[in-house]
Structure 1
Amino acid sequence: MTFTKIIFQTNQEFSEILTAELAEMGFDTFEETEKGIDAYILTERYSSRAISEMVDKYKSLASIEYKVETIEKENWNEEWEKNYDPIAVDTRCRVRATFHEPDDSYDHEIVITPKMSFGTGHHATTQGILELQLDSDFANKSVLDVGSGTGILAIMAAKLGANYVEATDIDQWCVENGLENFQLNGLQNIDYHKGAISTLQLNKPKYDVVIANINKNVLLEEMSYYAGLLDKGGQLFLSGFYEEDIPDVKNSTDSYNLLLEKSVIKDNWTALMFSKY
């Protein structure tokens, strides 16, 4: 298995648009640099033509230069550790890698082995959901984390008192990495399923909480499944889209008796919490 890394040099003000375009193409890990963005994607999903067309589309608006590299799976940790820093949600939560020292000044610490999985904590969508989780009551609740990636949001739910947590992702490496991270955080009994939510046989018919941090198109396609898996009075946490996408998302949730309760907006990325009535 190999990954394609593209090193972009571009104007800082264009980085947000560039990240959005790349996310739509399937890039799922991004690192901000002094000169632009480094973006990563499974090589089998990479299209040089799509990149070329995107650059041509914006060349009149911004200066964009890029270089393409291929990274073997075995080399990913070494590549990632060069730039991986802990992230924090004020003093309530810190996400760190195994090679960082612990810090007991935070209410919660989540420890991960960073690999090529979406959700290392650095993206604004993950941080937005974490904020919403920290402001919510998870005590004794059942939780389903859809598109769990590294498992950070599932781990956060467990640390906040959830008595049952289950996770899904379509990528086998995410499943392997997530299970490893669950073990690192002392969580032994979280089932992590590989596959799309529409095809899986889950362990429970209903959950108190459903979390989905994916992207707008997938969220809209799968909204009926999320709503159907929620008990009345349950909470749905959604992220992976921009502030201007809120009306489209809300039009979908309105169809399933989901009431918008809270929102967090970071760098134009949005995280929303709904209640089912």
Structure 2
Amino acid sequence: MMRYSEVVFSCTGGEDWHQDILISDLGDMGFDTFEVQDRGFAAYIASEQLDRSALESLLIHQPVGFEVSYVVNEIEPQNWNSVWERNFEPVVVADQCYVRATFHAAAPEYPYEIVIDPKMAFGTGHHQTTSLMMRQMLAETFEGKTVLDMGCGTGILAILAAKLGAAQVLAIDNDPVCAASVEENKIRNEAAHIVTECGSVELIRGHRFDVILANINRNILLHQLEAYTQSLEANGILYMSGFYEGHDLDVLSDAAQLQGLRYESHEVLDGWVAARFIKE
């Protein structure tokens, strides 16, 4: 099983948004889970992907007055459950979807319930981007549609698409831990028709989708945008998240327009964005 490193960052000075930008940059470096703590945060990354030289370079270039130090802890995979169980509380999204772990009680009063065992995979509904994507999905019609969840993590978005009536769902992640997590979570949620693949954007060649869900980060989205467009049906919908309002959204919107994707709308939560595009 893949080993993970916990990097605990201590932050002093600066503005709140300086830490948010740092987290976004760390996401670009491969960190995939973040836990806010007093005076900083913890971030998690596959140990083999941790590039200390790149990390040092990033921290050296932080704004004047924003001081960041860090400590790296190697963690055993089997100890991860105690980390997220200690912090994972049920989440309600848009008063419609209840996300819980296996050790939480059910809540049948909500139209949709998703039971997630995240293990080392990212995506429990707690992060702003996941919540934003789910909100947008709950306002969309998925009945009978073909859906791609790119960078699926735990598979939470794929599972929600299935519960909303999607006929076919493909969930892709380049982390085998995530792929294994989706396989377990789809059975837990009676969404066995979800197809899980371990790999990257090359796996979607030859496929056509009515809806693509991509909650990753700005740089990967920019790199994969052309492939998304080629795989979308006419009038297909692309939802993207994992980036910030302002410059990130502008850059992605401009790139999408060059691919023939029309920007429709976006939602913001704590500076994070989920945006909706239509293939013309």
Match of 2:47 in 1: 43
Contact kept in structure 1, 2:155 and 2:171, CA below 8 Å = yes
Q: Give 1:163 deviation, angstroms.
A: 1.4
Contact kept in structure 2, 1:144 and 1:167, CA below 8 Å = yes
For residues 189-212 of structure 1, give each alpha carbon's deviation from its aligned partner in whole angstroms, at most 9, with x where no partner exists.
Answer: 2111111112x266x631111111
Q: Does 2:97 correspond to 1:96?
A: no
Q: Give 1:81 deviation, angstroms.
A: 1.3
Q: Does 2:201 correspond to 1:220?
A: no
For residues 217-276 of structure 1, give each alpha carbon's deviation from its aligned partner in whole angstroms, at most 9, with x where no partner exists.
Answer: 111111111111111121111111111211211111112321222211111111111111
Q: Does 2:277 correspond to 1:274?
A: yes
- Residue 262 of structure 2 aligns with an amino acid whose one-letter code is L
Structure 2 Cα separation of the partners of residues 76 and 201 of structure 1? 31
Q: Give 1:59 deviation, angstroms.
A: 7.3
Structure 1 Cα separation of the partners of residues 169 and 31 of structure 2? 27
Match of 2:5 in 1: 4
- CA 254–55 in structure 1, closer or farther in 2 if over 3 Å, else same: closer
Q: Give 1:118 deviation, angstroms.
A: 2.0
Structure 2 Cα separation of the partners of residues 258 and 201 of structure 1? 18
Structure 1 Cα separation of the partners of residues 234 and 201 of structure 2? 20
Contact kept in structure 2, 1:131 and 1:264, CA below 8 Å = no
Structure 1 residues without counterparts, runs of 5 or longer: none
Identity over aligned residues, as a percent?
40
3-state SS, counterpart of residue 165 of structure 1: strand
Match of 1:168 in 2: 172
Report 1:253-264 matches (<5 A). Answer: 253-264=256-267
Contact kept in structure 2, 1:92 and 1:107, CA below 8 Å = yes
Structure 2 Cα separation of the partners of residues 32 and 16 of structure 1? 11
Give 2:144's match in structure 1, choosing from 135, 140, 143: 140
Q: Does 2:198 correspond to 1:194?
A: yes
For residues 97-133 of structure 1, give each alpha carbon's deviation from its aligned partner in whole angstroms, at most 9, with x where no partner exists.
Answer: 1111111232211111021112222221111111110
Q: Does 2:79 correspond to 1:75?
A: yes
Contact kept in structure 1, 2:172 and 2:197, CA below 8 Å = yes
3-state SS, counterpart of residue 113 of structure 1: coil
3-state SS, counterpart of residue 152 of structure 2: coil
- Relative to the length of structure 1, the TM-score reads 0.93
Runs of 4+ in 1 over 6 A off after TM superposition: none
Q: Give 1:8 deviation, angstroms.
A: 2.0
Contact kept in structure 1, 2:34 and 2:43, CA below 8 Å = yes
Match of 2:210 in 1: 208
Q: Does 2:155 correspond to 1:151?
A: yes
Q: Give 1:51 deviation, angstroms.
A: 2.9
3-state SS, counterpart of residue 81 of structure 1: helix
Greater shift in the superposed pair: 126-135 or 101-110: 101-110
- CA 234–7 in structure 1, closer or farther in 2 if over 3 Å, else same: same
Greater shift in the superposed pair: 184-193 or 86-95: 86-95
Greater shift in the superposed pair: 126-135 or 48-57: 48-57
Contact kept in structure 1, 2:94 and 2:135, CA below 8 Å = no
Structure 1 Cα separation of the partners of residues 57 and 7 of structure 2? 15
Give 2:185's match in structure 1, choosing from 178, 181, 185: 181
Structure 2 residues without counterparts, runs of 5 or longer: none
Q: How many residues in Structure 1 have an aligned counterpart in Structure 2?
A: 275
Q: Superposition RMSD on alpha carbons, in Å?
A: 1.8
